[in-house]
Structure 1
């Protein structure tokens, strides 16, 4: 009996030691996020490396690790991310962050946000975003408003609500479509008829916009 109790005690100690770094890292990550919330503003743009099935193809085609993005806003005292997944919706910042690879995220903001993002301007942007709530995710990356993908959503919110075009519009043919992973995903989506002239806005195009500055990188 004494030997059995000793084994139980030893096992408990080993488990506690094994999970201590995890708890510490978990506590640090969310403690840091709590501090980061104090630096956020309505209208900030947030980027991450998605763990979705199509993420690798997007990274390869655009030569960037950032494959998903959203619009930061405060709702009833809680920081949320307006994003185009399935469907377009608001997601809590915490849930959004932990869905990305390594919990890594970057937040960007207009260089002239103090002047341009007035409360009235933000309300126009928010209205533009809310008008797209519930729309299906656009697997074909078309430019119509019937279906919406992530970078298209935030580009159109800025264009419609603020009259600003954040990120350079391109065409599908402008991306690197040579990798087998990209080719397979394109064939899955379009078959043999690739819409090479389709207007596209990628996460990295917005990320690299000279109109934006980085305010957070975790």
Structure 2
């Protein structure tokens, strides 16, 4: 864990102070559809697989996975909650899926040095944590959109969206029900009131705007 600290220091520094309002810019990455991606952007994709199909059916969105872009040395990377919470280069992240979407905060004024310090303290503790297969609202394990939501909330006080509950989504699809049975043993054991945030909820946040397209 200590070996990861310098890496995350660079990551969080870029994430929370390299903003349009600060005048300090780090490396950007050109994308065929977007002008440039930069630290702090939230990226979305469709990862496929049974869980991806279930998330798509439950939310009605093609966005089934998400992460936060940040600078790591000379490259842009993505902090994401997979198994375990880890980092991957943005280029490799993009190769996973033909679905790609990027959004960023509409108003970056709360993203300052104090926010950076909080992000560093919280974010460093998340690396290596297991993926949360049960989508519980705790920090013991994390799923993708929970990680993105919490790193902003805990460091800036900004709630990118209001957490929902399982019963807010469409649970009648058979693929959704199959995943519920696999994870909980029975449909009746699903904690329907558990707070939850889906990638589509973040993408629909009025506090975010789409990264400008070409």
| TM-score for the superposition, normalised by structure 1 | 0.78
CA 1:38–1:64: 2 relative to 1, 3 Å: closer
**1:146-171: CA deviations, max 9, x gaps?**
11000000111001011110122011
Shift of 1:127: 3.6
Runs of at least 5 residues in structure 2 that lack an aligned partner in the other structure: 1-27
Higher helix share: 1
Q: Quote the offset at 1:107 in angstroms.
A: 1.1
Report deviation, 1:129.
2.1
Q: CA RMSD in A?
A: 2.0
The residue aligned with 2:106 is: 111
195-204 vs 80-89, which moves further: 195-204
Match of 1:67 among 64, 67, 92: 64
Structure 1 position 44, deviation (Å): 1.2
Q: Which residue of 2 aligns with 1:181?
A: 175
TM-score normalized by the length of structure 2: 0.79
Structure with greater Cα Rg: 1
Q: How does 1:126-205 map to 2 (within 5 A)?
A: 126-192=120-186, 193-205=189-201
Give the ranges of 4+ consecutive aligned residues of structure 1 lying more than 6 Å apart after TM superposition: none
Q: SS of the counterpart of 2:141?
A: coil
Of 195-204 and 118-127, more deviation after overlay is shown by: 118-127
Describe how 1:19-98 pairs up with structure 2 within 5 A: 34-36=29-31, 39-98=36-95
C-alpha distance after superposition, 1:111-165 (max 9, x if no partner): 112x232344234324422220000000110111111000000111001011110
Shift of 1:63: 1.0
> Using the alignment, how far apart are the partners of 1:45 and 1:86 within structure 2?
19
Q: Does the residue aligned with 2:69 lie in a helix, a strand or coil? A: strand
Q: Distance in 2 between matches of 1:208 and 1:38?
A: 21
> Partners in 1 of 2:121 and 2:69 — Cα distance?
14
Shift of 1:59: 0.6
Q: 1:74 to 1:98 in 2, by over 3 A?
A: same
- Where do 5+ consecutive residues of structure 1 fail to align? 1-32
Q: In the aligned structure 2, how far is the partner of 1:38 from the partner of 1:123? A: 29
For 2:213 and 2:132, locate their aligned partners in 1 and report how far apart those are by CA, in whole Å.
28
